[in-house]
Amino acid sequence: MSSESYDLIVIGAGPGGYVCAFRAAQLGLKVALVEKRATLGGTCLNVGCIPSKALLHSSEHVTWARQHAKDHGIKLGSVEVDLAAFMKRKDDVVTKLVGGVGQLAKARKIAVITGTAQFTGPKTIRITPSEPKTQNSEPKTQNAKPAIVADLSATNFVVATGSAAVELPFMKFDGQTVVSSEHAIAFDSVPKKLVVVGGGAIGLELGSVWSRLGSEVTVVEFLPKIVANYDDDIVRNFTRILQKQGLRIETATKITGCQLKTQNAKLETAAVLAAEKDGKPLEFAADKVLVSVGRRPFTDGLALEKAGVQLDEKKRVKVDDHLRTTAPGIWAIGDVVAGPMLAHKAEEDGVAVAEWIAGKHGHINWDLVPAIVYTSPEVASVGLGEDTAKAKGLAVNVGKFNFAANGRAIAMAQTDGYVKIIADAKTDRILGAQILGNNAGEFISEIVTHMEYGGSAEDLARTIHAHPTMSEAVKEAGLAVSKSALHAL
């Protein structure tokens, strides 16, 4: 057993945690990074953002080859998917990235400690070996004491332990039929029928992947619309596009039960979901059920109470506006605190906390965290939507520009969707934006940049955009706020 003291110990090596550790090391602090996985990167790099985007990209190639190659004069034979190779590419992408993070930590002389952390006091933690994550692992021996890897102390701690998928009480994850997103990025065969419970980003992205590979996908959403934080017009058009791609979407539908074939051998599929819509019963047959109804802050096993760290009513770590917890010298970032559960938000939290700990002036603008759904086309947003702004009683001007009128979009056959800019009617200051279209996630950053310095729709409109590019639609939407779009009637 080893014992060591540090200026900062970061618990959790996801995007928030490792970025916090990197910035603190840059600022001269002695830093340790504790991670229960054998690799760094957290959920995002290992089983979340990165592998799902690799699968999305590969599956888009499948759709293009099968449905669009002929439109470009490209003749292909039968297009088949080698699922093992398909998955190997995803795994290779993950391996490369998590390895890169490990190399960066080593170069910054950060002590990386593999194990599970538990507070033993306000300035101390104990590290024990992480439990192996296998389906057939031996049960724990009662009253057995875990081996101790290290007892560590620090002047400052950052809790960056992320989040975990929410289970439905009557439909627990079994890893075989009822699965989380972590399971759904690693199926060994294409399910004939996939039911996705939840119409948010994760469900729509993974539903799109398996639909492109041949699954009959049904998305069941409890709320009246999918991606509920977006404007009604964006959602209406987005829904239509997804339905055209083959996804069945059932909104305002409540799942009330799940019967597995292990419970009823007469079932023709692995599961049958019972549901209710408009007071009428529905049933959905499924070979796999992906439950993606949200994520919860993950602080299990940290013994935060021993350090004096309090949680709020939603089991999030209580923090002030500088991300300090109720215990002096302990900070919390990312998914364990209030705010959007997004990797880039966690990164900004981590950088700011490292700078505050080092006596610098950290900065975060939580009002300007962009959100993206990485389907095809993508949906992206920042700030206030039109519906929300009007619900708040704000007077706004709205500019829209369709990709169907953009030269590059036409050349690329990517004409679905549009850019929408929401600006204050009096000052012209940009309040928000929503984009439905190819690479919307790339375009939204330009608007975030203008909003960061308080820019106006006119500032955006007068920024020179190269021609021909799809980003010209952003400029035109800025012009459209004052009814000055040049390439629209």
Distances (CA, A) of 55 to 51, 262, 337: 6, 30, 29
Q: For tokens 């993206």, name the residue.
A: 372
- CA torsion angle 381 387 391 394 (round to 10): 70
| DSSP letter, residue 171 | B
Indicate whether 142 pLDDT > 60.
no
pLDDT score recorded for residue 295? 98
Sequence-distant (6+) residues with CB within 8 A of 426 are 395
Tens digit of pLDDT for each residue in 272-281? 999 999 999 9
Indicate whether 3 pLDDT > 80.
no
Nearest-angstrom CA–CA distance, 371 and 208:
18
359 backbone φψ class: left, alpha, beta (φ>0; ψ -120 to 50): left
- Helical (H) or strand (E) element with 412: helix 407-412
pLDDT band at 140 (very low <50, low <70, confident <90, very high): very low
**Of the candidate ranges 127-141, 303-317, 442-456, 470-484, the one whose mean pLDDT is the lowest:** 127-141
Classify burial at 229, counting beta carbons within 10 Å of its beta carbon; exposed 0-12, middle 13-18, buried 19 or more: middle
Tens digit of pLDDT for each residue in 301-357? 999 999 999 999 999 999 999 999 999 999 999 999 999 999 999 999 999 999 999
Indicate whether 135 pLDDT > 60.
no
pLDDT band at 141 (very low <50, low <70, confident <90, very high): very low
pLDDT score recorded for residue 73? 97
Indicate whether 245 pLDDT > 60.
yes
Residue 467 annotated among the catalytic residues of the structure: yes
The active-site residue out of 61, 322, 363, 467 is: 467
pLDDT band at 139 (very low <50, low <70, confident <90, very high): very low
Sequence-distant (6+) residues with CB within 8 A of 411 are 468
Are 199 and 223 spatial neighbours (Cβ–Cβ below 8 Å)? yes
**% of residues, the chain, pLDDT over 70:** 97
Arithmetic mean of pLDDT over the chain: 96
Nearest-angstrom CA–CA distance, 40 and 108:
14
Q: Which two tokens stand for residue 485?
A: 């779009």
Are 207 and 373 spatial neighbours (Cβ–Cβ below 8 Å)? no
Look at strands 2-11 and 31-35 and give their pairing. parallel
Indicate whether 138 pLDDT > 50.
no
pLDDT band at 129 (very low <50, low <70, confident <90, very high): very high
Are 81 and 215 spatial neighbours (Cβ–Cβ below 8 Å)? no
Nearest-angstrom CA–CA distance, 418 and 402:
4
Tens digit of pLDDT for each residue in 86-122? 999 999 999 999 999 999 999 999 999 999 999 999 9
pLDDT band at 146 (very low <50, low <70, confident <90, very high): low
Rg of the chain, C-alpha, whole Å: 24
Cis omega before residue 377 (within 30°)?
Answer: yes
pLDDT score recorded for residue 148? 86
